[in-house]
Amino acid sequence: MAHPIKRETRHANVFTRRALLMMGGQVALLGALAAKLYQVQILQGGRYATLADENRISARLVAPPRGRMLDRFGVVLGGNKINWRALLIAEQTTDSAATLAAFSRIVPLSDYEQARIEREIHRHRRFIPTMVREFLSWEEMAAIEVNAPDLPGIVVDVGTSRLYPFNELYAHLVGYVAPPNEDDIEDEPMLALPGIRVGRAGLEKYHDDALRGRAGAVQMEVNAFGRVIRELDRQEGVPGQDVGLTLDAGLQQAVARRIGEDSASVVVMDCRNGEVLAMVSNPSFDPTLFNSGVSPAQWAEWTRNRRAPLINKATSGLYAPGSTFKMATALAGLAAKAITPNERISCPGFFDLGDTRFHCWRKGGHGALDLRGALKNSCDVYFYEVARRAGIDRIAETSHRLGLGVMPQIELPGARPGLIPTRAWRHAQGKAWNIGDAIVSGIGQGYIQVTPVQLATYASRLATGRMVEPHLTRTLGGALQLGVQAADWPPLDVPDRDIRLVREGMWQVVNEPGGTAPQARLPGEMRIQMAGKTGSSQVRRVSREQREHGFKSENLPWEFRPHALFVAYAPYDTPRYALAVVIEHGNAGAAVAAPVARDIMIETLNRDPAGRIEPPGAKLADVKSRAAG
């Protein structure tokens, strides 16, 4: 048997070795931990501090204010206003359904709205606000605040929405904005920001990128659940650029008043540089409705309206120009040497081509007329013969040079080019060109279609002899976009003598006894004369039987009556302003459109927007203050 002292000595030695092994292991572990801590806190401390901040700090984009639309004198046509809105924070109420029911008793919510709110509440975390109602009136906001104790979870927030101070007056020009759709957001992530809008029509759409601006950023401290604790830093976005337009708000209002309830369009231009001073399409619509969403009932009402309030008739309405086209026919005949200025063509009241008879508007005819007399009296037979001699291709070539039947270079999406037919166009349809089609084209009927803005451009080019183009943008972000005079536009490449002849004919239409538009003559005290041309374009054929039985178009239903047109420029000796008037189904250009053109030209000349830096009656200091604001 081993001695007891020796056994204890062996046990002590074993314990000592185990303790050393354990101590060594602990030292190794502590050393590894210390090395890791050194690496994390010393070597990579900056990196992990950044990662910690990224978890603690939430960076969010902020929608920038949208740029404004201003008229030439600084009047706001499209701006921004405060938008009061009600939000629901679900975690602050034990019963969101009861809260919404109480809210609906103050501000009624449709079943669709309530279903949409419930979906968003269940889709998002309960501390994230859900939009209940935008565009609250002051009375609605006050009622919500007064009843706040009965509306747990409801908070009133403030944002911005688009403001159109003139409502329907500029709807077709300025256009409107609407919330972005999924395709928009996919192309541009910034559009997902709350409250942001995109241009959907008019200049809002054309200048959308410039008006939209650049987003700002705000840094928020959040907890582990993403709930906001406090705001750490804010960098405001870059506001959208202001767009200065060529329009004169006062003139636009005067034009709209003169049109009244007629379904019509009017374009007024500075014929020297192409600036559009007024463009009215009636009837119109309220563009603010698109900001919050158009109801199905409202949309159905617009689309059922036979006067087409959603269409900008000035750039998209297509009309046969009627007798306003006769200057183009005359210039085409002169260019083709098919006629001479003093050649007289006899008008017995009709023009026979084979078995087909084409009538003049005057039943007994005009007798023998030269070019000036044919324009003055608007003789159809004279221009039937000119069209027969010149041919449709020469007429189309001249018309395009004058701005008809071609796409205008104007900043409005949806503008249409119209049509001046040619032999090639007809052949492309698989049909041969008919000489009878050329005959009726000479008086602006048949296949010919133009827009009112083309007619105003046409009048401007006749007045100046230059290739003037219409435009609406004057400044962008304060920088002048286009500042040209008539001499800067390329010439029409039409002999001065020929242009002078048609101008003289247009002057006789208005100012000489026997002209077709004495109603357009300017008052003698103005000491200014206007040159112009009437037009009445048929929308349905009048048969020989109807003519023989004393047919009168004014007895037809409204939609079957001819359109009434007038084009003009003034002053005659030093042209400055040109205009085009189209009264849908107005029946007679001389009786209906010419007086409207006269009154609008008087207003334009009196206001003289192209010659002013401030609107009539305004103090310069007021204008500068308004523009700055």
CA within 13 Å, CB half, 20? 6
How far is the C-alpha of 335 from the C-alpha of 440, rounded, in Å? Answer: 19
Residue type for 166, please?
A: F
Count the neighbouring beta carbons within 10 Å of the beta carbon of residue 617: 8
- Which burial class, exposed, middle or buried, applies to 436 when counting CB atoms under 10 A from its CB (0-12, 13-18, 19+)? middle
**How many other C-beta atoms lie within 10 A of the C-beta of residue 97?**
12
Bond prior to 283 in cis (omega within 30° of 0): yes
- CA atoms of 257 and 394, how far apart (whole Å): 40
Q: Name the one residue in this structure whose structure tokens are 């943008």.
A: 473
Strands (E) across 174-310 are located at 176-178, 198-201, 216-222, 228-235, 243-245, 264-270, 276-282
**C-alpha distances in Å from residue 307, one per residue of 318, 381, 450:** 13, 33, 18
- 137: tokens are 């009136």
Judged by DSSP in three states, 345 sits in strand
CA-based nearest residue to 273, from 72, 54, 551, 25: 72
Task: Tell which phi-psi region holds residue 617, choosing left (phi > 0), alpha (psi between -120 and 50) or beta.
Answer: left
Three-state DSSP class for residue 416:
coil
Active-site residue identified among 265, 281, 323, 537: 323
Q: How far apart are CA 452 and CA 313, in angstroms?
A: 7
d(CA 119, CA 569): 60
CA distance 325 to 573: 22
Q: Are 234 and 60 in contact (CB under 8 A)?
A: no
Enter the tokens of residue 96.
Answer: 């969101």
Structure tokens at 101: 């029911």
Of the candidates 215, 213, 217, 221, the one whose C-alpha atom is nearest the C-alpha of residue 234 is 217
Q: How far apart are CA 289 and CA 176, in angstroms?
A: 9
**Residue 197 to residue 83: CA distance in whole angstroms:** 13
β-partners of residue 357 are 352
- Among this protein's residues, is 281 annotated catalytic? no
- Are 295 and 110 in contact, with CB atoms under 8 Å apart? no
Distance (Å, whole) CA 495 – CA 322: 25
Give the phi and the psi of residue 357 in degrees, each rounded to 5.
-110, 125
Active site residues: 323
